[in-house]
Structure 1
Amino acid sequence: FPDSFLASSDKTSFAFRKDFIRTYLERDVPMFGPRIPATTLERLWTMLAHRQGGILNASDLARSLDTSTQSVTRYVDLLCDLLLVRRLTPFLPNIGKRLVKSPKVFVRDSGLVHALLGISDFQKLAGHPVSGASWESFAIESLLSYLPWRSSAHFYRTSGGAELDLVIDFGGVRQWAIEIKRAASARVTRGFHEALIDIKPERAFVVHASDDRYPLADNVDAIGIRELATMIATAE
């Protein structure tokens, strides 16, 4: 959204995004399928923003919206088709562990996340519970825009706590494991190490909020978004 990004003030940028949401819901969305109440879709979109990067629980969302699970699934499908929401599927290696098999769901544009939640400037974002998830989704969308052809993106999680924010699968032949941290310095967790043991990726990275690159462990580097995006784009 160049007009929002280049706006003269946070207030103007926020107003542009709020207008975009309203226009999209009231005018554009009805053109793509059966009539869906704009208020219902806005509530769902906002609920997904509150749960940014969470595991999709259509039944829970349906109860909150007083509608059916099938309707919620259809609404989420529509938002995904319109490139407003990303459904990130789990990476499911055959390793004999109990794996989380439901997808994660992100509102793809972090600026729209903030507008849906009424976050109008950086100060409000810094103290908001969604700030970490917003940064994670921003990093994921930035990296996936460089994803090579025939590659796919997933997350990994077991019932025992092993977890990776992003697994890039290069044609089913090799994988890169990626953890995302909002802090300017990176550290690895026990769940990250356990996930590396499970899936044995070719390379592993912890994305952090600066441009510095340095080793954290054997075959694990802390890295900035821009450098990792370049590596993904040129991976063979």
Structure 2
Amino acid sequence: MIGLVLAAGAGRRLRPYTDHVPKALMEVDGATTILDIALRNLAAAELRDITVVVGYAAHTVTERQERLEKEYGVRLTFIHNDKAEIWNNAYSLWLARDAFANGALVVNGDTVHPASVQRTLLAARESDDAGIYVALDDVKSLADEEMKVVTDATGRLRKITKLMDPADATGEHIGVTLIEAHAAPALTDALEATWRRDPNLFYEDGYQEFSDRGGKVQTVSLGKIDWVEVDNHDDLVRAREIACTY
């Protein structure tokens, strides 16, 4: 199993900070970036081989390779998404299909969260046989922007989309996923069907396709944790409030 970070996004709503760097390189704790936190968390889960999907301003990430590998004790491989500025992240995850073929812990490059999330997902697989495990915040109040999830009574995913009445949702996917090796071929096919249907779809739409085809997607409740998806300036302020507490 590897670590996999999706860090190709431009983060247009964070301009001017992202005029020249992707939002994964937003500083949230001194010089510590969102990418630093992702790598630190994956290393804490004993994942030393990490693939990073880059796109917008990719050179600003790849030029840090030596420093990041040394600081976190990891080996980095980069996959370049040349459509990152025009297509959504279903395509980014599909590009990493060879990387997640033997299983992966996937982290969005705009999510600030504690290392306990990775540990919780890894522990969940000991008592389940799902192909995909989705980290779920079922505590916070939801609005229109969140990636909302509906589950059955056992926590199995039934629906995942932003296009849902928040009142109908069980919780929110926080942008961290465990993909088992045995699910990789079917997920690859589902992701390809998703971006070919509409390149503006999210990789969570690929999870929905995987589920609709009979794949098992299990949600994993995280309880109350401090985390934030950094989409705009208010989110960045919140990230800077909580990152220093990890």
TM-score normalised by L of structure 2: 0.26
Which is richer in helix?
Answer: 1
Flag the structure with higher strand content.
2
| Higher RCO (C-alpha under 8 Å, 6+ residues apart) | 2
TM-score w.r.t. the length of structure 1 is 0.27
Higher gyration radius (CA): 1
